[in-house]
Structure 1
Amino acid sequence: MKKKTNIIAIIVLSILAIITIFPLVYTFLNAFNTGSAYGLIPKEWGIRGFYETFVRRPDYLIKFWNSLFIAICIITGQLLVSCLAGYGFSRFKFPGKNILFYLIIILMMMPYQVTLVSNYAILERLNLIGKEAAVILPAIFSPFGVFLLKQAFDMCPTEFCEAAKLDGAGEVRTLFSVMIPRAKAAVASLVILSFVDAWNMVEQPLVFLRSQYQYPLSVFLSQMNERIIGMVCVCGILAALPVLLLFLFFDEDLVEGISFTKI
């Protein structure tokens, strides 16, 4: 009976895997399509799509760099803020701590579009509309990052902090030398999830940025109206490549981090 159950599970999971992978395979094959119609197996093969992307549309590389710059800035700032805030919520007692944490949970469950107008009003007063900082700064203060690392730090035994303090370490040194290494799986998970979120954002750049030269790759892809099939697919594959590489190299850290924090 158990063997039959395992076989059924393998079949179901295999079907789900094929359904998940099929769009990637389809896009990859059509990246070499030089014809005028999509197909699982292109009738005409070539590298015209790559030529059009890298030679005829150099703005693609500019958008790629914009996405990379925005993602790296968001991840760096988000890690710093989330580590400090998560450590504070985990190890310190202060008035209103529980209320503030409940507010963070509420913000975490809200769609980003709910706060889009208020963020725009604040950024406009700060004279940041039209600058990359308008996209980066709101994303740095991530409720999910604070929640994730607070849960991770809660799982770390207090004995490590006490031992560090006996050795003369302050709170900052305890955080960076003891707590973060102990919660490295959760930190790696936050890096991966933050990168995916920053890499795929569309609404924020459209609302906060004014120049098309500032737009990231996600906006570029959403506005593509090219008739060259190969070029469209090449752009899609190259846009997905950084995310795929992250998951390939850090998938174990992602699973371990989520399971470690019991989310």
Structure 2
Amino acid sequence: MGLRLPIPDKKRRGKMFDIIVLIFILLVAVLFLFPTVVTIANSFMTSNEITANYGAMFSNMTEKQKTFISSNVNLKLIPDKVTFDQYKAVLIQNSDYLIKFWNSVILTVPITVFQMLVAILTSYGFSRYPNKFKGIIFFAYIILMIMPYQVTLVPNFLVADKFGMLETRKAIILPAIFSPFSIFLLTKVMRRIPISYVEAAKLDGAGEFKILTKIYVPLCKGAIASIAMLVFIDYWNMVEQPLVLMKESTYHPLSVFLSQINTGDIGLAFAVGTVYMIPTILMFLYGEDYLVEGITYSGGIKG
């Protein structure tokens, strides 16, 4: 009999590959979550402890001295003494932070709600009604979507100035409502809904509004929720628009105000940063299933 070479165990190799992938995912997760963990942990430290750990980085020193000290920063994740003084200052003693927080809410919630309403109606039109100009209009949406926001910021400024909307929230909210991003994504999803569903609904006497609300919206609820989450997070973190369109700091959201916190109040910055993250974290925890469903939905319906 001839000599047989050992055949590699495919199952074992597959298991090793899964372990390597898992380790890689864990490393990436730690890399992305570490700043968040540091922010939350340091927000419960006393001012003296924070100053002892990081204060030298922001003191009046030369760049060479700061570089040397920064390399020896005492990065801690467990406070010596847990305190809520920073949160007391943010939520009770200084009303500016809460005002900026609610400014963020007042800007972001209407943008998200009305942008999704416009996206649902527009996407339904793109997916349902044949028109020789539909392809051109949709292509224009794609061009607008891939443009950096900074390209359209100046035209938006000129239009807002022309209509007397500068220094008001309308200068930010109105252009954002008609963003092409959500329309593009939702149109792609709605086009995958089988036409047989619509024909069956019409046989039962359903009109366009009923078809939209009883067929398209329920079938696309995962995609709608996931897109709404992305829109909310995007505008919750906006900085350029308020700085350009609303120079009066009274209406600035917390995202702008965060960069203006005095570096002498490092502990305060950690607490404000933690409060700032709460809405997006809660939204993700609540809508995680919808987000996953929305991401995988495009392949879920077959005509």
TM-score greater than 0.5 by the shorter chain: yes
SS at match of 1:239: helix
- Find 2:25's aligned residue among 7, 10, 13: 13
1:50 equivalent in alignment to 2:50: no
1:194 equivalent in alignment to 2:206: no
**Residue type of the alignment partner of 1:130:** E
Deviations 1:12-31 (A, max 9, x none): 11111111111111111110
**Residue type of the alignment partner of 1:199:** W
**Residue type of the alignment partner of 1:257:** G
For the Cα contact (< 8 Å) 1:48–1:230, is it kept in 2?
Answer: no
**Unaligned regions of 5+ residues in structure 2, if any?**
1-12, 55-74
- Find 2:211's aligned residue among 165, 174, 179: 174
1:44, distance to aligned residue in structure 2 (A): 5.2
Distance 1:137 1:48 in 2: 39
- Find 2:148's aligned residue among 97, 111, 118: 111
- Find 2:134's aligned residue among 97, 100, 109: 97
2:190 paired residue number: 153
1:3 equivalent in alignment to 2:15: yes
SS at match of 2:183: helix
1:140 paired residue number: 177
Matches within 5 A, 1:227-238: 227-238=264-275
**Unaligned regions of 5+ residues in structure 1, if any?**
none
**Residue type of the alignment partner of 1:57:** N
Distance 1:56 1:68 in 2: 21
Distance 1:162 1:254 in 2: 29
1:6, distance to aligned residue in structure 2 (A): 1.2
Distance 2:42 2:149 in 1: 34
Distance 2:298 2:178 in 1: 20
1:43, distance to aligned residue in structure 2 (A): 4.7
Root mean square deviation, CA, Å: 1.5
Distance 1:57 1:240 in 2: 19
1:206, distance to aligned residue in structure 2 (A): 0.9
Deviations 1:36-82 (A, max 9, x none): 13331445542221122123321111111111111110011101110
- Find 1:222's aligned residue among 241, 259, 263: 259
Q: RCO higher in 1 or 2 (8 Å CA, sep ≥ 6)?
A: 1
**Residue type of the alignment partner of 2:199:** E
Matches within 5 A, 1:29-44: 29-34=41-46, 35=48, 36=51, 37-38=53-54, 39-40=75-76, 41-43=78-80
1:183, distance to aligned residue in structure 2 (A): 0.6
For the Cα contact (< 8 Å) 1:30–1:229, is it kept in 2?
Answer: no
SS at match of 1:261: helix
- Find 2:123's aligned residue among 86, 107, 112: 86
Instruction: Provide TM-score, normalisation by structure 2.
Output: 0.83
1:249 equivalent in alignment to 2:289: no
1:64 equivalent in alignment to 2:101: yes
Q: Structure 1's 226 and 54: CA in aligned 2 closer, same or farther, altered over 3 A?
A: farther
Which one has a bigger Cα radius of gyration?
2
For the Cα contact (< 8 Å) 1:27–1:233, is it kept in 2?
Answer: yes
Distance 1:258 1:100 in 2: 25
Distance 1:76 1:228 in 2: 35
Instruction: Provide TM-score, normalisation by structure 1.
Output: 0.95
Q: Percent identity?
A: 43
Deviations 1:198-243 (A, max 9, x none): 1111111111113211111111112222422221111001101111
Distance 1:150 1:46 in 2: 49
1:24 equivalent in alignment to 2:61: no
1:250, distance to aligned residue in structure 2 (A): 1.2
